[in-house]
Amino acid sequence: MKHQYVTADVFSSTAFHGNPVAVVLDAVGLSSEQMQRIAAEFGYSETTFVLPPKSAEHSAWVRIFSPSKEFPFAGHPNIGTAYILAMEMYRSGILPPETMVFEEAAGLVPMRILFEEGRPIGAELIAPEPFSKRATVDQMQVAACLSLNPDQINITNHPPQVASVGLPFIIVEIKSQEALRQCAPNPAAFKLTVPVGGATSIYAYTKISTGSDYTAHIDLEARTFTHRMTEDPGTGSATAAAIALLASLDARKLMTACVTQGLSVGRPSVLNVHYSRDEAEEVRVSGDCVIVMRGTFSLEDQG
């Protein structure tokens, strides 16, 4: 049986920038083991598998795999998947819906399609879980993980903190862009530090511009390092958790952010985040996308 796939670069409108994702459009018949092997074969940070929804009210059941494990939720794979599904409809002459709802292990993930002159150009997700803080991590340990000196870690606003809106990350503020660009993952230190609080990756950021006391908008530059000693070009779930963490410092009810990521690996990404807390807390992450490749594969002779 042949399966169709499409790849897209997420958080950029330029091919070969942003964060790539592979989306298997018709995953019916694939076992979990096969999905894991396919994700490892693609080698991207994540590959998604689209299945019919369990409820007719929803758009799809989406499973997300890294090369080594399945994730309950992730940011850029959802945005890329929603964009690709909308583009497949658009290419077929079908008007894509303005919203989609994905069923995932972490819960329901609402998606909004971004359009320009009637054509899909990207997508926006709403994080599936309320913001939560978990363990804190020692400043010296985190510095060792990033090959920095401890005094390059900023703990004035918050300590290195595990936080989540669906997937936990160690969130660390770095004192300057220069220090952020000096970061390099240290395998020995990572092995001693993670996992902690469910987190296996470190999201390091520094402020580019901000008003006093974290006004309604903030600009950040960020880098994400995984336990596989790889760097992620654009991490939506971590960015959402980081902005929610910053908003929580003074119980802010509204915050927006523009985050630049991926510069150090030659894949610049731009992530837009909107945090609001009125009657209910909500974190939204959006970005442009572009399709890069499409094709088919068959596992007829595989186990």
CATH number at residue 8: 3.10.310.10
3-class DSSP string for 45-112: CCEEEEECCCCCCCCEEEEEECCCCEECCCHHHHHHHHHHHHHHHHHCCCCCCCEEEEEECCEEEEEE
Quote the pTM value. Answer: 0.95
Q: Which residues are paired to 126 by β-bridges?
A: 284
- The reply to whether 292 falls in a domain is yes
pLDDT of residue 211: 56
- Does 90 share its domain with 71? yes
- The reply to whether 235 falls in a domain is yes
- Does 118 share its domain with 32? yes
pLDDT(89) > 60: yes
pLDDT of residue 250: 83
The pLDDT confidence band at residue 252, using thresholds 50, 70 and 90, is confident
State how far the alpha carbon of 176 is from the alpha carbons of 163, 204, 220, 222, in Å: 22, 11, 11, 11
The one-letter amino acid code at 90 reads Y
- Does 76 share its domain with 189? no
- The reply to whether 264 falls in a domain is yes
Q: Using CA atoms, how far apart are residues 270 and 258, in angstroms rounded to an integer?
A: 7
pLDDT of residue 215: 57
- Does 138 share its domain with 265? yes
- The reply to whether 303 falls in a domain is no
- Does 209 share its domain with 269? yes
- Does 136 share its domain with 278? yes
- Does 137 share its domain with 278? yes
Which uninterrupted H or E stretch holds 246? helix 236-248
Picking from 74, 70, 90, the residue whose alpha carbon sits closest to that of residue 6 is 90
Q: Of 83-92, 182-191, 272-281, where does mean pLDDT reach its minimum?
A: 272-281
- Does 136 share its domain with 124? no
- Does 21 share its domain with 73? yes
Mean pLDDT of 152-173: 97
Task: Encode pLDDT of 194-237 as tens digits.
Answer: 999 999 999 999 999 765 555 588 999 999 999 999 999 999 99
Check residue 152 and report its DSSP letter.
G
- Does 68 share its domain with 23? yes
pLDDT of residue 1: 84
Count the residues in the chain.
303
- The reply to whether 186 falls in a domain is yes
Q: Using CA atoms, how far apart are residues 112 and 122, in angstroms rounded to an integer?
A: 9
- The reply to whether 182 falls in a domain is yes
3-state secondary structure of 145: helix
Picking from 212, 174, 227, the residue whose alpha carbon sits closest to that of residue 68 is 227
pLDDT of residue 230: 94
Q: Using CA atoms, how far apart are residues 178 and 211, in angstroms rounded to an integer?
A: 21
Number of domains composing the chain: 2
Q: What percent of the chain has pLDDT over 90?
A: 92
Mean pLDDT of 233-260: 94
Q: Using CA atoms, how far apart are residues 108 and 119, in angstroms rounded to an integer?
A: 25
Identify whether the C-beta of residue 186 lies closer than 8 Å to the C-beta of residue 225. no
- The reply to whether 273 falls in a domain is yes
Q: Which domain holds residue 86?
A: 2-128+288-298
Question: Tokens 């402020």 correspond to what residue?
Answer: 207
pLDDT of residue 210: 65
- Does 294 share its domain with 211? no
Mean pLDDT of 271-286: 93
Q: Using CA atoms, how far apart are residues 102 and 113, in angstroms rounded to an integer?
A: 13
